Amino acid sequence: MYTMNKFPIVDMIALYSVRRIETITWSPDHTYHIEKVRSCHSRTDGGVVKSFYSVETRRGEILDLVYNEEELTWSLEGREIEKILVQIHRHKHMHSRAHRIVPIRLELRKMRETNEPGLPLTWRVQPYRFQTGKILSSQVIEIRTRHLENVMITKHLHYVVRTDQNRYFHLVFIQDEQDWRFMQEVDEELFFATHFGRGV
């Protein structure tokens, strides 16, 4: 088994959602831009690591958010979070996990039964924008493939993405560490030769 430690951790803006999203749009009436995090902390609750946030929006609302690392879901009492953009810093030397995982924009609706039952983890979170020490900030335009790999006590979520520079990259999310790692740049011709027509 290869070790993930040799692959660099990247700074990532990730999208979390309660249903499959391929084209990302935001409803102005239901979207909240987070101005600042007022307080945050992480703790283990029933064997699951959760992070708790009190945030203030640009319009002055105070929202209390909870992130469940096992389910990869974000919640707010009485309302569902349709989707949320979160910045995940590559540097780990912070006060708590919550200080490393920072919500920046979200879309809220009144609670209703619209969550997809059994939504795969690779659809609950996906890369949105990332950068490494060698790759400038890159917007993900398309997720070409995604799959989950069970590894011992954790899960690896694999994605091959196309960026706004029309380059292809293999990225992996390590669930128990909450790390995004850069695996490699993928050759476009080789990728299409081996994956064209294959379902995800």
Q: Worst-scoring range by mean pLDDT, 9-23, 40-54, 102-116? A: 102-116
CA-to-CA distance for 61 and 75, rounded, in angstroms?
Answer: 16
Look over the chain and give the mean of its residue pLDDT values, rounded to a whole number.
Answer: 88
- The whole model's pTM is what? 0.88
pLDDT of residue 199: 42
Rounding to the nearest 10 degrees, give the CA dihedral for residues 30, 31, 34, 38. 20
Q: Worst-scoring range by mean pLDDT, 5-14, 44-53, 103-112, 171-180? A: 103-112
Q: Worst-scoring range by mean pLDDT, 52-56, 89-93, 159-163, 179-183? A: 89-93
Amino acid symbol at 171 = L
Share of the chain above pLDDT 70, in %: 88
What tokens appear for 199 in the block?
A: 């379902």
